[in-house]
Amino acid sequence: EADIYQTPRYLVIGTGKKITLECSQTMGHDKMYWYQQDPGMELHLIHYSYGVNSTEKGDLSSESTVSRIRTEHFPLTLESARPSHTSQYLCASSEGSGSREQYFGPGTRLTVT
Amino acid sequence: KNQVEQSPQSLIILEGKNCTLQCNYTVSPFSNLRWYKQDTGRGPVSLTIMTFSENTKSNGRYTATLDADTKQSSLHITASQLSDSASYICVVSDRGSTLGRLYFGRGTQLTVWP
């Protein structure tokens, strides 16, 4: 079982609130990723990081931001949540270069009312 | 355009029966193909990984096949169990970037009934 954790697992919050989704891994992986997944749909990459102080936007445009101050920690922040942000957010990590296996966290189910 | 298509979208089978899930892809240049199992409300977990030169790979009751010429893969589940109920996602990786870009299918939702 992969050692990658996400908190909270479920979050219901009102419009306009600032939220931070936490992701941490204890495998020492350099690469980390954030995906967004709606029910019955494929995962979409919204952010990734090659390592500390490296962050890049993914294929799907997102109003969220990320930071990578420590290898093991890759939080995602929404400054002002909106109902359109309601989705499942999955964090993943991988080691090395190229197409190594990505290990996924359990996800955060976000609902913005 | 790099795409991964899976069929069927959903499938219901009785416990103990076998089933086969399909995956077609157009990803190029191809690096590898993985099948993931995603339980409801959880993150995906890798079942198998196949590279260009591999035709078949097994993991317990799961057997994946790959035809790199026709760009098709299948996942065969033998003697299904209730715990096999999940979404099965085909994921193809390209070797054209340092990141190891992943392309995800929408998954096949498998339900196993007692």
Query: One-letter amino acid identity for B73?
Result: S
Question: Quick one: which of B76, B71, B86, B70 has its CA closest to B56?
Answer: B76
Q: Which positions in chain A touch B44 (Cβ < 8 Å)? A: 43, 90, 104
For strands A31-37 and A19-25, give the pairing. Answer: unpaired
CA distance B105 to chain A (A): 6
**Is B114 a residue whose pLDDT tops 80?**
yes
Q: Does A101 touch chain B (CB under 8 A)?
A: yes
What's the rounded Cα separation, in Å, for the pair A59 and B89? 19
Q: Which residues contact B63 (CB under 8 A, 6 or more apart)?
A: B56, B57, B75, B76, B78
**Looking at residue B2, what is its pLDDT?**
83
Provide the Cα torsion A82, A59, A88, B106; round to 10°. 130
Q: Which positions in chain B touch A106 (Cβ < 8 Å)? A: 41-43
> What's the mean pLDDT in B94-114?
86
State whether residue A72 is helix, strand or coil. coil
What's the rounded Cα separation, in Å, for the pair A16 and A7? 20
Backbone angles phi, psi at B44, to 5 degrees: -65, 145
**Looking at residue A56, what is its pLDDT?**
92
Q: Which positions in chain B touch A42 (Cβ < 8 Å)? A: 4, 89, 104-107
Question: Quick one: which of A64, A60, A24 has its CA closest to B104?
Answer: A60
Burial class (CB in 10 A: 0-12, 13-18, 19+), A1: exposed
Asked if B32's CB is within 8 angstroms of A98's CB, the reply is no
Instruction: With a cut of 50, list the residues of chain A below it in pLDDT.
Output: none
**Looking at residue A61, what is its pLDDT?**
80
**Looking at residue B99, what is its pLDDT?**
64
What are B3-49's pLDDT values in tens digits? 999 999 999 999 999 999 999 999 888 889 999 999 988 899 999 99
Q: How many CB atoms lie within 10 A of CB B70?
A: 8
Structure tokens at A18: 């600032």
**Looking at residue A46, what is its pLDDT?**
95
Structure tokens at B31: 């690096």
Asked if A102's CB is within 8 angstroms of B102's CB, the reply is yes
What's the rounded Cα separation, in Å, for the pair A41 and A61? 16
Distance from first CA to last CA of chain B, Å, rounded? 41
What are B44-93's pLDDT values in tens digits? 999 999 988 889 999 999 999 999 999 999 999 999 999 999 999 999 98
